[in-house]
Amino acid sequence: MAEFDEARLDDAEALAAADLRLRELAESGARVRREAGEAADAIVRAVSERGGERPRAVIAAGPDSRLLRAVLEPWCPVPFVAWPAPGLPGWAGSLDLVVMLAPQGSDPAAASAVAEAVRRGCQVVVACRPGSMVAEHAEGRWSTLLPTTTGDQLATAVVMLDFLHRVGLGPSCAADEVAASLDAVAVAASPHTNLAANPSKELAIALAEALPLVWGGSTLAARAARRLAEQFRRSSGRSALAGDAEHLLPVIEATRPRNLFDDPVDGSDLRPLLIVLDDGADDPVVREQRGRLQTAAARAGVRVEALASDAGSEVARYASLLLAGSYAAEYLGVGLAGE
């Protein structure tokens, strides 16, 4: 197993090898602003065309529908369905609004789903690249295109969520607020910020000799947890698990107490590390689950690390948690790349 060298996290040459990915993370806020600015006129037209009339139901179609579900499902005042599978539900028709995120605009399944929505006479709003395959299939009398250019899923979602908020179908999602939260994380987690003041580098060090268990209590925090577990697996080549409290508790409770005579550099027995994503959710169920996890971790001697965000909106908190963890995943890869 590769050894982690924390000195590489402040080494300019080592960080240069990850420059493209770190730069992509740093530009997250700029992409949100760019997409929001370029789609602003189209959003105003789309809101005007709807005339304040509510659809019978909202269907989020396509493979990126789960992010919209995480935001809208608890809030939408009409029935909401996320439909990542090909096609549409059999009942979808002219009274329903079909929305789709297609950041790349080249997915055949997304193009097929939106073409089916047009054929059925559904109201259609699609966020994608103009001239893309999905855009071409979305053309129709009741269709609206929100133009996007960066290929960034989060930035594309912010454009769609802004539209849905303005027509009374979703919570507030101000692009400037989301972008500002991303910029703040990019400053705190910058490769130019040294270990002593960089929370993402500190988390990477904690991950160096651990198997991450990532938990988020709210729907959006749980989604961020799943995304981060994927990134930790990719950066380290090791296991990483995200799940509800009932999925993580057995792993924590089965962890044997640390033995003082264990070899600390023997990677054959990596201990779990509980990472709590705290987006400020104050639901009693969330508090109870967090308490159970932290109590079990204390009994088993499992280390707990927290990523927290106090940004204003749900989406801004989700975005900042995901970005801070993404930086940590990149720094984990940098530290392990010395072997």
In a domain, 289, yes or no: yes
Q: Number of structural domains, the chain?
A: 2
Asked if 221 and 320 sit in the same domain, the reply is yes
Give the mean model confidence (pLDDT) for residues 150-169: 95
pLDDT attached to residue 314 = 92
Q: Which residues contact 128 (CB under 8 A, 6 or more apart)?
A: 100, 101, 102, 103, 104, 105, 134, 135, 138, 145, 146, 147, 148, 156
Same domain, 236 and 328: yes
Residues 168 and 285 in one domain: no
The answer to whether position 184 is within a domain reads: no
Segments forming the whole domain that contains residue 206: 6-18+191-336
pLDDT score, position 87: 84
Question: Does residue 41 sit in the same domain as residue 110?
Answer: yes
With respect to residue 297, please indicate whether it lies within any of the assigned structural domains. yes
Same domain, residue pair 160 and 223:
no
**What confidence tens digit (pLDDT) does each residue in 196-221 have?**
899 999 999 999 989 999 999 999 99
Report pLDDT for 63.
Answer: 80
Q: Which of 269, 288, 279, 264 is nearest to 325 (CA)?
A: 279
Rg (C-alpha) for the chain, rounded Å, is 22
- Rounded CA-CA distance 212/242 in Å is 8
**Is 1 domain-assigned?**
no
Same domain, 153 and 201: no
For residue 49, give the CATH number of its domain: 3.40.50.10490
Look at residue 239 in the predicted model and tell me its pLDDT: 93
Q: Is pLDDT above 90 for 98?
A: yes
169 shares its domain with 198: no
Say if residue 170 is in the same domain as residue 211: no
Q: Check whether residue 133 and residue 211 sit in a common domain.
A: no
Q: Which residues, listed in sequence order, are joined to residue 127 by a DSSP beta bridge?
A: 101, 146
Identify whether 23 is part of a domain: no
Query: Domain check: are 158 and 204 in the same one?
Result: no
Report yes or no: 79 and 108 within 8 Å, Cβ to Cβ: no
Q: What confidence score (pLDDT) does residue 65 get?
A: 87
Asked whether residue 119 is domain-assigned, the answer is yes
**Terminal C-alpha separation, the chain:** 9
Do residue 222 and residue 170 come from a single domain? no
Give the model's pLDDT for residue 338: 63
Asked, for residue 183, whether it belongs to a domain, the answer is: no
Q: Which of 126, 143, 176 is the last residue of a domain?
A: 176
Q: Which of 144, 176, 208 is the last residue of a domain?
A: 176
Residues 198 and 330 in one domain: yes
146 domain-assigned: yes
Q: At residue 133, does pLDDT exceed 90? A: yes
Identify the domain boundary among 176, 207, 231.
176
| DSSP-derived secondary structure letter, 76 | -
Q: At 259, is the pLDDT very low, low, confident or very high (cuts 50, 70, 90)?
A: low
